[in-house]
Amino acid sequence: MPTILCDLDGTLLLKSERDSTRPTPKRAAVNAALAAEYDLPDIDFRQGMVHGLTDWLIAEGALRTHRPEASIDGPAWQRIIARAEALFRPEEPGDQPYYHRLPGVPDTLHALKAAGHRLGIVTGNVGLFALDKLVHAGIDRALFDGPCAFGDHGRERHHILRTAVARAGGGEPLVVLGDTVHDLAGAQAAEMPFVGVGTTGLCEQDLAGASNATWIADLADADATLAAVAGLQP
């Protein structure tokens, strides 16, 4: 049975509207880290926000709204991450969560595991922030006993996917589960099967011409999800 590498945002969980009135702890920490790194007190992570991009590319997009020719190289990204993690202050227990589970989560995840699949995580989020999102959304981290890879060392999504492949050790087939054309492009670049989820707007026609890829409307139907995975070639 293949291991399912799950994206988070738009696939398993979604941000609430609360971030529009008060920054998430992640956004506040990254903003402060970027401001310190580049001496830009008005920089805002959301200025570079494109759904499906890695945190690295989103941060670079925010930087380019102020300095169009700028880029964030590997050492700078590691400094930004280290500073953001040091500044990060999670919400107190009982506070209204910033993230909520999407339909079918976690029931379909449990159905996949019951059918013999392992679950992993591949997300453009930096690891600390990804795990905090799971807490907010009430998704048990213990569900994901397969390889996990985050945005800490991956500028592009296919870099992060290849990290997951390396961590898997080559002993198991892998399938990518995601909700954007960026997830699809990463899976295609890494030559991995892909299940696209239409929860946040990915359309079946977006997969036209893609090899070894299939589409489902959402994760609410566990049987449809299982059948989609079964229909792919390892």
Residue 112 and residue 213 in one domain = yes
Band the pLDDT of 55: cuts 50, 70, 90: very high
pTM of the model: 0.94
- Which of 104, 103, 144, 112 lies closest to 127, judged by CA? 144
Inter-residue contact 183 to 164 (CB < 8 Å): no
Q: Would 60 be classed as within a structural domain?
A: yes
pLDDT more than 90, % of the chain = 88
Element (H, E) at 215: strand 213-216
- Are 9 and 32 found together in one domain? no
Tokens of 104: 């079918």
Which range marks the domain in which residue 125 is found? Answer: 3-16+99-230
Q: Are residues 128 and 185 in the same domain?
A: yes
Least Cα distance to 77 among 64, 92, 60 occurs for 60
Alpha-carbon distance 126 to 219, whole Å?
24
Q: Mind listing the pLDDT tens digit for each residue in 11-39?
A: 999 987 655 567 889 999 999 999 999 99
Statement to judge: residues 103 and 185 lie in one domain: yes
